[in-house]
Structures are given as C-alpha cells and as structure tokens.
Amino acid sequence: MEWEVVIGLETHTQLQTKTKIFSGASTAFGAEPNTQACEVSIALPGVLPVLNREAVNCAIKFGLAINAEIAPRSVFARKNYFYPDLPKGYQISQFELPVVGKGAVTIQVPAVGKNAAYEKVINITRAHLEEDAGKSVHGAVEGMSGIDLNRAGTPLLEIVTEPDMRSAAEAVAYAKKLHELVQWIGICDGNMQEGSFRCDVNVSVRPKGQKEFGTRREIKNLNSFKFMTQAIEYETRWQIETLEDGGTIQQATVLFNPDTGETRAMRSKEEANDYRYFPDPDLLPLEVTEADKARVKAQMPELPEAMKARFESEYGLTSYDAATLTASREVADYFMSTVEAGAEAKPAANWIMGVLSAKLNAEEKTIAQSPVSAVQLTSLLKRIADNTISNNAAKQVFEALWNNDGEVDAIIATKGLKQESDSGAIEAIIDEVLKANPAMVEEFKAGKEKAFNALVGQAMKASKGKANPAQVNEILKKKLS
C-alpha cells in the first residue's frame, strides 16, 4: 500500500523583548540562576501580571507578515498544571481567543533527487502569546534538583499550522522559512541552541487517497532542522510499519533521541493533563486597535515576498535568484548594499550566490561575518565591469580581500592582475601563438571547433591570464578567417 504522511507544526518562538511578558525582569540569556527572577517570576503571594506591550507588538508584526487576521480583542487564559519550573502552578497563555488568527506562508521546497523544487502555501491556524516556564536543573547539587526561574515569564509566540505538510522536506522547508521570517521582522533571535526557536511536530500517516487523518503523535521540542528531518522520517517509518504489522497508533507525545535517531512515547493521551483553561481574571482582554496595527506596520521592514517580487521586476533577476537572495534578511541586506553602492544587480547576485556563498559555507560563516564587505565586493564588480580585470583575476582579488590584504585597486596593482586590453599587444601575442602552434591552426581549419578554444587558452596563457578574453576571441577569429 502507498502511504501518505501528514504533518503539522507548533513552533515556540521567544520574542526579543528586553523584559518579560508580565513583569519588568530582564530576559537576557545565560545569567546566573535566579538572578533575573523578580517577585513576579518567583510567583510570590500577592503578585500580579502586567502585560508587556512590546510582546504584543511582536505578535502584531508576525500577524501582518503572514497576512493574518489580528484579533481586535483576545483573551489571556490560565493553563493549570503542577510542575516545579512553573512557579504559579499555571501558565498564562491564550486559548479560545488568540491574538493572531488565520494566515499563510509560502515555502520553497528544494529539489531532491529527480523531484524538482516547488513552492507550496502552508496555512497558519493561529499564533498566540504566552509565557515560558523556568528550567529544572539536575545534578548541580548532588542528589537534588534545582529550579532556575530566569526564563520563567519570557514571552513566547506559539505559531500553529494546519496539517498541510506531506513530507519531512516540506516540514523542514516550512520551519526554515518561519525561522527566517521571525528573524527578518526582528521578533526572535532564532537561536535554536538557546531554545529561542523550538518546534513540536505532529505526525500521522494514512493510505494515499484516504480523506480522514490518521491518529497523530506529537514529537516534542525539536531544536535543529537536522533532528527534525531524522525525527519525522523515523516516526513516519515507525507508524507505517506499525500499521502494516496490523497494529494501531495511539495518540501520544513522543521525544526524539538524537543519539539513537528514534522517537519514544513520553505519555499517552489517557494520561494527558486536563489544563482547566479559564480566562485570567488578573488581566484585561487584550485590545489591538487599527491605530496599533498601523503604528507597527510603519516600523515593519519590507517583507521577503515583496522584496523578491521587486528584485525580479526591478533588477530582472530570475525567480530562483530573487528567492535565494531574500531567503534571509542578512543576505538581502548585503545584496541591497552592493546595488546601492553602484554594483550591477545581476553580477552582484551571481557573485553573492556563487563565490561568496561558497567561501562562507567552506568557512562556516554567515554573510554578516563576511570579511569581504558589500562595498568591497562592489569595487571588485566595478573593476570587472570596466574590463580592468578578468573574472579569473577577480577571484584572486576576492581571495585577497577575504584575507584582508587591502583594497581592490591596491590588490590589483600589487598582484599585477590588470587585464591587457591593448589590441596591438594582444595581436602580437596571438601572432606568436599561431606561429608556435601550426598543428592546432590546421585542425581548426579542418573543421575542429575545439582547436579554437585551445588556441584561446594558449593566448591567455602567454599573456599570463591578463589578456581580455573577449578581445582575444575577436582577434583570433579575425586572424583565422
């Protein structure tokens, strides 16, 4: 039987506010345990929450970015359960009325094997504001468990999709797209190691063509794209094998173990908590007015979709190139800087996606960490455009820039990379080459096109790579005709 996997994601993004969602305590990561836990974070008797409006602005930004309905009135609710790192015994979240309603994001699923790349729209069900819990610390004191409440009350936006994804590749493409988007609009630092961006993945399988969904299991807390792929692939295989062996799937929460590459059930549905949600009487309903939305909209950067369309129409880039350049805010900013500094868009795009990207990958750097600035790259591109250097020489200049060996013109001068564009000098070189390679000339005249390229190569070699290749081609063609 052919099976189809159905996937939906719930993503917790930590919002980049200076202070916590319901108190004035700092949200900075990595401080000594409990040094960023004020009386509200500790949940002392008598304390009350006060909503941090900055967190709301982050939610509005996200809603605008995915074209979602933003609720004029939403409600904070208490999710009640006992856990040592949950100081109040309830988490303040949103339940029936979330701040962000239905929206959508478009993902680019990369080509795999013989399957071509494609675009797909993933529908967002909702996104709601809530507070993070603290952390249990085991082993800091022998035989004891500690509680660190620094993280308690950090604002989260939980983003929930429809079960729209049909492969691990789609799920990861969505997660990556979301990961870039929340950084693009500046609401989340995207740091997955520190837990700023965590995904829960709901997976079910069904016979291809069946309408009803299968029973789902939820893989909790995936904090890398690699683990997400492994976890979904394992879970899908496991569910299919279980069903093919005549078994049934029980609704459950599962954990992925990166060491074994397997998923394992944490608790079944029967043991699931009844969270006894009810509206938090300590907080008023959250109102978002048209004016609030307008104010936030005015602070929003150009969104990736809009920028992509602009790159295509304004600079004549292909859809693929425009998508690549707008895959992250940093790359887009870099590209825009080169264009603003006077580079031609197409060669700039090619260099960024080609030479620069390869080098960054090789040295595991992000574009923001690139030793070659957008301005330097632009100078380099200008020297290619005005025929001062050849493309090959430009690569040497790029290497030198990367190694911080000075500015473009100085490097060209020091390394003697200036291209020979004097047609008299080039003619002289070509005459020498024709004289030294009569066999090749004969081959060409006998109809072997390849011989022409070999002669160009000889001429370039004789000029030590400095001859302008276009001129070499032109003169050689004339001489041989």
Partner 1 sequence: MINSSLKQFSQMLAKKEISSVELTQVFLNRIDSLNPNINAYIALDHAKTLAQAKAADARIAAGNVAPLTGIPIAQKDIFCAKGWQTTCGSKMLANFIAPYDAHVITQFDNVGAVNLGKTNMDEFAMGSSNETSYFGSVKNPWDFDRVPGGSSGGSAAAVAARLCAAATGTDTGGSIRQPASLCGFTGLKPTYGVVSRYGMIAFASSLDQAGPMAKSAEDCALMMNVMAGFDERDSTSLNREKEDYTRDLNKPLAGLKIGLPKEYFAEGLDASVGKVVMDAIAEYKKLGATIVDISLPNTGLSIPVYYVLAPAEASSNLSRYDGVRYGHRAAEYTDLNDMYSKTRAEGFGAEVKRRILIGTYVLSAGYYDAYYLKAQQIRRLIAQDFVEAFKQCDVIMGPAAPSTAFKAGEKVDDPVAMYLQDIYTISTNLAGLPGMSVPAGFSNGLPVGLQIIGNYFDEARMLNVAHQYQQVTDWHVQMPEGLA
For position 278 contacting partner 1 by CB under 8 A, the verdict is: yes
Q: Cβ–Cβ contacts within 10 Å for residue 191, how many? A: 13
For position 147 contacting partner 1 by CB under 8 A, the verdict is: yes
Closest residue by Cα to residue 58 from 346, 325, 299: 299
From the list 28, 112, 265, 284, which residue makes contact with partner 1 (rule: CB under 8 A)? 284
Separation of alpha carbons 138 and 150, rounded Å: 16
**Nearer to partner 1 among residue 83 and residue 320 (C-beta):** 83
**Nearer to partner 1 among residue 47 and residue 353 (C-beta):** 47
For position 39 contacting partner 1 by CB under 8 A, the verdict is: yes
Q: Which helix (H) or strand (E) holds 473?
A: helix 469-480
For position 143 contacting partner 1 by CB under 8 A, the verdict is: no
Map tokens 């291809």 to a residue.
208
From the list 1, 2, 45, 121, which residue makes contact with partner 1 (rule: CB under 8 A)? 45
Q: What is the DSSP string of 300-339?
A: PPPPHHHHHHHHHHHH---HHHHHHHTSSHHHHHHHHHHH
For position 249 contacting partner 1 by CB under 8 A, the verdict is: no
For position 315 contacting partner 1 by CB under 8 A, the verdict is: no
Q: How far is the CB of 231 from partner 1 (least distance, A)?
A: 28
Separation of alpha carbons 160 and 11, rounded Å: 7
Q: Which stretch binds partner 1 (CB under 8 A): 86-94, 164-172, 291-299, 447-455?
A: 86-94
Q: Which stretch binds partner 1 (CB under 8 A): 111-119, 173-181, 269-277, 440-448?
A: 269-277
From the list 78, 126, 329, 383, which residue makes contact with partner 1 (rule: CB under 8 A)? 78
Q: How far is the CB of 87 from partner 1 (least distance, A)?
A: 6
From the list 8, 49, 153, 155, which residue makes contact with partner 1 (rule: CB under 8 A)? 49
Separation of alpha carbons 68 and 125, rounded Å: 9
Separation of alpha carbons 63 and 286, rounded Å: 15
For position 314 contacting partner 1 by CB under 8 A, the verdict is: no
Map tokens 């602070």 to a residue.
299
Q: How far is the CB of 128 from partner 1 (least distance, A)?
A: 18
**Nearer to partner 1 among residue 75 and residue 105 (C-beta):** 75
For position 46 contacting partner 1 by CB under 8 A, the verdict is: yes
Length of the chain: 481
Q: Which stretch binds partner 1 (CB under 8 A): 98-106, 276-284, 335-343, 445-453?
A: 276-284
From the list 43, 109, 332, 380, which residue makes contact with partner 1 (rule: CB under 8 A)? 43
Q: How far is the CB of 94 from partner 1 (least distance, A)?
A: 15
Q: Which helix (H) or strand (E) holds 407?
A: none
For position 271 contacting partner 1 by CB under 8 A, the verdict is: no
**Nearer to partner 1 among residue 84 and residue 207 (C-beta):** 84
Q: Cβ–Cβ contacts within 10 Å for residue 248, how many? A: 8
Sheet arrangement for strand 90-94: 90-94, 76-80, 278-279
| Residues within window 106-135 making contact with partner 1, judged by CB under 8 A | none
CA dihedral 266, 269, 271, 276 (to 10 degrees): 120
Closest residue by Cα to residue 174 from 112, 218, 120: 120
Separation of alpha carbons 32 and 16, rounded Å: 20
Contact (Cβ atoms closer than 8 angstroms) between residue 131 and residue 153: yes
Q: What is the DSSP string of 163-205?
A: S-B-SHHHHHHHHHHHHHHHHHTTS----TTTTSEEEEEEEEE
Separation of alpha carbons 117 and 430, rounded Å: 46
For position 82 contacting partner 1 by CB under 8 A, the verdict is: yes
For position 266 contacting partner 1 by CB under 8 A, the verdict is: no
For position 447 contacting partner 1 by CB under 8 A, the verdict is: no
**Nearer to partner 1 among residue 50 and residue 117 (C-beta):** 50
**Nearer to partner 1 among residue 81 and residue 118 (C-beta):** 81
Q: Which stretch binds partner 1 (CB under 8 A): 167-175, 238-246, 273-281, 313-321?
A: 273-281
Report the SS3 class of residue 281: coil
Secondary structure letter of residue 100 according to DSSP = B
From the list 18, 35, 44, 266, which residue makes contact with partner 1 (rule: CB under 8 A)? 44
**Nearer to partner 1 among residue 51 and residue 300 (C-beta):** 51
Interface residue list for partner 1 (CB under 8 A):
39, 42-51, 78, 80, 82, 84, 87-90, 147, 274, 276-278, 281-284
